[in-house]
Amino acid sequence: MGNASSSEPENQGDFITILSIDGGGVRGIIPSEVLCALESKLQKLDVENKDARIADYFDFIAGTSTGGLMTAMLTTPNADKRRPLFEAKDIVKFYLEKSPLIFPQTTEQLLEDDQLFPDEAAMNSLLDEATKHIQLCYNINHQILDSLIATLRYLLTCKWIPNFIRKRLGRTLLFPKYDGVKLRDLVSEEIGQKLLSDALTDVIIPTFDIKLFKPIIFSSLKAKRDKSMDARTADVCVGTSAAPSYFPPHFFKTTVDFNLADGGLEANNPSLVAVCEVMKEHKINGRKLLILSLGTGEADQSDRYVVGDDPSKWGLLRWLWYSENNGSPLIDILTTASDEMISTYISTIFQYCGWEENYYRLQVSAARIECRNLPKSREL
């Protein structure tokens, strides 16, 4: 099973175990509770290892976005580099205590710092830059563009419009929902300066590079072979969590530059990525794989989007902000629509090949989870 001291390929006669954890922001509380219960059960069953950890039982742990953070916390070594720095129960505690800091819920929290909103000169500069980008990317009538920008400039700077409204509009259109400072600080505080190559079992974390415009799959095995891929684990965690419109993209460098956005853009459910990476590394087929895939909860009927009586209202703003549940249809669809399709692909292939017992997907139906109802969500 998992090996904390070696990344050499397993004997071909052995099974290779894979844990896959979906992305999902604050909904990470769901798989964290599952992992807490699993680790507790393993500690009771393994009489020879009362300090049993998740990393002891999985050869590979893959995670996207919030799942990437869990992956790091499960595999980052302590000071003597022999055991994981965190127990699974510590991850539950992290979500309960730190999520309100990473995802402030009230408008007052989001807007209380005037420095988050630019002055008029900075606003004009941002709008001028936006105009240039639009002109470069789209064949749009200059008069129409000038009119749109003038209207937006007026709305954002007009003194008779309440400051609260101007701030809310400006932040929605020009900035990510969260500045990402708390996310970066807390992840660095928890994970420290550890590198991917330090992981106690092999890890796989998908990200998307917006400059190269392609997925970048970080793994501890790649990190041990290629110094350019041996990044700080904290940087990879922030990169895979940088959901468009929610958090800013994350830039860092090793021997090369990375410009990363949320790994959920290509693999919010990283199980298929994990299977491909493992099969490339070990040159085996699927019958030697045992996969546990943990979801972060799928929306129930009360939390889904509906077209409504007037489909013509579905312009860009509607796709970005759905007022009925304060969600973002475009981002939610981009990052989660493929989750169950990936599960369907794997389960269908495994079933066809007679390996259906080698793959288990755990997913629950849940209403929208927010920081204020995190304690209640533990009942799921």
Question: For residue 195, what pLDDT is reported?
Answer: 97
Question: In the predicted model, what is the mean pLDDT of the chain?
Answer: 82
Residue 320 burial class via C-beta count within 10 angstroms: exposed 0-12, middle 13-18, buried 19 and up: middle
Instruction: Judge whether residue 12 has pLDDT over 60.
Output: no
Percentage above 90 pLDDT, the chain: 49
Report whether 53 contacts 84 (CB < 8 A): yes
The first and second tokens of residue 20, run together, are: 């896959």
Q: How far apart are CA 2 and CA 42, in angstroms?
A: 13
- Higher-pLDDT residue of 139 and 324 is 324
Q: Pinpoint the residues of the chain covered by CATH 3.40.1090.10.
A: 16-104+179-301+342-367
- pLDDT tens by residue, 147-174: 666 666 655 566 555 565 556 555 666 6
Segment 314-324 mean pLDDT:
73
Q: What pLDDT band is residue 7 in, cutting at 50, 70 and 90?
A: very low
Which residues does the annotation mark as catalytic?
65, 262
Question: pTM of the entire structure?
Answer: 0.81
Q: What pLDDT band is residue 6 in, cutting at 50, 70 and 90?
A: very low
Q: Which range is least confidently modeled, 19-23, 137-141, 213-217?
A: 137-141
For 16-104+179-301+342-367, CATH number out of 3.40.50.970, 1.10.540.10, 3.40.1090.10, 1.10.1670.10 equals 3.40.1090.10
- Higher-pLDDT residue of 190 and 337 is 190
In terms of phi and psi (left: phi > 0; alpha: psi -120 to 50; beta: otherwise), the region of 276 is alpha
